[in-house]
Structure 1
Amino acid sequence: MPLSRSRLISGEDLGAVAPALKRYADDVITHDLWTRPGLSLRDRSIVTVAALIARNQTAEMTQQINAALDNGVEAREVSEIITHLAFYSGWGNAMSAVAVTKDIYAERGIDTAQLAVADRFPLPLDEASEGRRETAVEAGFGAVAPGVVQYTTDVLFRDLWLRWELAPRDRSLVTVSALVASGQVAQIPFHLGRAMDNGLTQEEAGEALTQLAFYAGWPNVFSALPVVREVFELRTD
């Protein structure tokens, strides 16, 4: 079962079990990492929550989702991060996040009226770019798994990615963070390129990796670094 807020791991717990870990948590995580320039507190929260959901790590989720709400991530955006990651990290991971977030929303008095606005039109679709993506995916995989190809077009890129509840730049940041956190480096070039097209800067992308080193582990980040470097080098804009 997910940890309730009353059972969150405290500094006293850390000190009793792993004093050195408490020192790192206090000195490096709290007083250094989260205060670094290059990425806003709001963005650091988005990266961290995405990593926790992608890795299904509920012990930290209550604290970090609350921090995200305190750092300017709106409740509807948290809900949309969970929705988005149901597709990019799996339905089960999203359900774990739903269980944790339900209690947070109840404690904060957040109801469904704050999570959606009726009659809001989807974001515009870049038909040319989407056409190229569809053609490439169909040519490469249409004969292998036509159902995957169909849902990728109809559900992901012509529905999920056009939902207004999360800005395209933030949706891309969530996606890239989840891919790095789960070690899915093959998907990083497309989605990091898309993130930068959506407004994520190279500095912000690099600082997101720094955040992810702590919340997804150094091996996952170092596996991603050569791929990210190549994306940076290939971009001319």
Structure 2
Amino acid sequence: MDNTVANNDSAVTPLTLPSLVMYTENTLLNDLWNRTALSPRDRSIITLATIVSRHQVEEQLNTLNQALDNGVKPDEIAEIITHLAFYSGWGNATSAARAAQQVFNARSINISELPGSNIVPLPINQQAEDQRAQHVSSHFADVSPGVVQFTTDAVFNDLWLRPDLAPRDRSLVTVSALVSNGQVAQVTFHLNKAMDNGLTQSQAGEALTQLAFYAGWPNVFSALPIFKQVFESRNA
């Protein structure tokens, strides 16, 4: 048996353990990635967010190639990595940026044409942003005014308004990173935001299925009660 596992014509690292090969081929590639509750593009967004946020360097090249094969645009990949600088740390993002540069160069994708500072931001929901900012400021301005300031100025009034990654996909990246790193305290706000941005309940549930394989069952089971609470509150 050829132990090089492939998906969408993107070769991944050869596997040598027969049991891992079996589950990778049968359960991961032939089952999980063919489930229709999420598109392959969505699954790649979730997987890329997980690989980057968990700093799984050896998987980055394969995951980036797979994402491009599944329809994630270079501009979107650049924005996903930039977004994760804020939600999983700068070091994780810079490592992924180096991998992305390698993949883009191999595919003759011009990095200089990717989005930078010269953008037209998306419109902001000022009422919702004012409520968010007031809530954060009232609770934490005396603890860390710098965090409060940058959360407003750099994150919600800048990063989230960048147009080359749709708000729904940006939310999917954020929720995936939070679940992947076990940061369930932040999931309620961002899952609600994701669903406000167009992520359906069934898609959110299936995102957990994808995350179970790439972030591990314990992280997903820690997030399941939060997802259930959000779903129930929105359906009440």
Quickly name the TM-score band, shorter chain normalised.
over 0.9
Aligned to 2:106: 107
2: CA distance, partners of 1:41 / 1:26: 16
Aligned to 1:29: 28
Q: Which runs of 4+ in 1 moved over 2 A?
A: 116-120
The answer to whether residue 184 in structure 2 is matched with residue 180 in structure 1 is: no
2: CA distance, partners of 1:229 / 1:93: 30
1:75/1:114 contact within 8 Å kept: no
The answer to whether residue 83 in structure 2 is matched with residue 84 in structure 1 is: yes
Mark the runs of 5 or more structure 1 residues left unpaired by the alignment.
Answer: 1-6
The answer to whether residue 21 in structure 2 is matched with residue 61 in structure 1 is: no
Aligned to 2:6: none
When the two structures are superposed, what TM-score results if normalisation uses the length of structure 2?
A: 0.93
SS in 1 for 2:163: coil
The code of the aligned residue for 1:103 comes to Q
**Aligned-pair CA distance for 1:227:** 0.5
When the two structures are superposed, what TM-score results if normalisation uses the length of structure 1?
A: 0.92
1: CA distance, partners of 2:93 / 2:112: 21
Aligned to 1:132: 131
Aligned to 1:191: 190
**Aligned-pair CA distance for 1:121:** 1.3
2:57/2:96 contact within 8 Å kept: yes
SS in 2 for 1:229: helix
Mark the runs of 5 or more structure 2 residues left unpaired by the alignment.
Answer: 1-10
The code of the aligned residue for 1:138 comes to S
2: CA distance, partners of 1:214 / 1:60: 14
Give the paired residue count: 226
**Aligned-pair CA distance for 1:102:** 1.0
Aligned to 1:3: none
2: CA distance, partners of 1:45 / 1:167: 15
The code of the aligned residue for 2:20 comes to L
1:8/1:59 contact within 8 Å kept: no
The answer to whether residue 9 in structure 2 is matched with residue 9 in structure 1 is: no
2:119/2:162 contact within 8 Å kept: no
1: CA distance, partners of 2:24 / 2:161: 38
